[in-house]
Amino acid sequence: MSLVCFILFGAQFSFAQTFTNPLLPSGADPWSIYKDGYYYYTNSMQNRLVIWKTKNLADLKTAEKKTIFIPPAGKAYSKELWAPEIHFINGKWYVYFAADDGNNNNHRMYVLENSSKDPLKGNWVFKGKVGDATNKWAIDGSVFTYQNQLYMIWAGWEGDINQKQEIFIAKMKNPWTIDGERHKISSPEFEWEKHGDLNDAGNPPHVDVNEGPQILINKGKVFLIYSASGCWTDFYALGMLTLKGKNLLDVSSWEKSTQPVFKQSPENGVYAPGHNSFFKSPDGKEDWILYHANSAPGQGCGGKRSPRAQKFTWNADGSPNFGIPVKANQELNIPSQKK
């Protein structure tokens, strides 16, 4: 790992200029945002919500971190806290997460709010459940603003039975309230989206999966990147929807790519890459993908999943080119810094 040294008030500091994946030994569903000179990072911890704060991605393993929420016992959101995301909206911080009471059938989405400038300070207030009127199973909530309208996207069930996970979208009245109906915009349809056999008496024999939706906007073009197939399989991969129409709530406005845009690389020792997020470099010139993956086949959905980051580029048509997952321990330059 290369270092750049500088002197401040007579003290010498070292700033790592390279890093290697994984960023942490374990951590599924990684999310990061860069704001006011710091990266704020979080991932699934199951029983609590934790935020990391660091100026340098390479220092995540030793970064300052704080537990911001431990749910009280006996609530609908006391267990299985999944896929937290931290967002800054209208001058306040929000953390969205899915949780249940210990029964996966009861997973719903929830949100916390903090008015402090620094999300590791101040008070996190539990704002409650975020859901549409159907109150169906829901996980992996993410929010974004497009043409001055706030939206939420998530993975959900059409009905009340675990058969298929699909992508839904709805407008939001404010950061904690969905406005109107949910609209389904993606369902597993290709072979690579349908690896989902389960060998567990407590679950159905097979589940098709679209989950982990993330919006990516480039020069006015809107893409929705999602995870497909079961995370318990090595075939977990990223798919892409491209907005072709004007109404984000209309399934006909979206065109699905027929092949995954990011998938396992056995030659690089990376399996089941998915549940990603995106962030910009500090100077705003580079685009980065953050995702989790396994280091060996057959490791499934457990604690062996680790967070990884790599830079990506853009194709001539404006769509993202994620390349292939890089090898663990391959030295990479950190995101480009402000001059």
Annotation marks residue 234 as catalytic: no
Q: Which of 29, 140, 166, 234 is catalytic?
A: 29
Residue type present at position 118 = D
Annotation marks residue 211 as catalytic: yes
Alpha-carbon distance of 307 to 100, in angstroms, equals: 24
The 10 Å CB-count burial string (b at 16+, else e) for 240-265 is bbbbeeeebbebebbebeeebbbbbb
Alpha-carbon distance of 203 to 162, in angstroms, equals: 8
CA angle 49, 145, 79 (to 5 degrees): 20
- Decide: helix, strand or coil at residue 59: helix
Q: In what order do the strands lie in the sheet with 38-44?
A: 28-35, 38-44, 49-54, 64-69
CA angle 283, 287, 292 (to 5 degrees): 125
In angstroms, what CA-CA distances link 339 with 2, 16, 45, 52, 280?
18, 16, 35, 24, 15
Cis peptide before 84 (omega within 30 of 0): no
Q: Which of 85, 211, 234, 287 is catalytic?
A: 211
Q: Which residues are catalytic, by number?
A: 29, 211
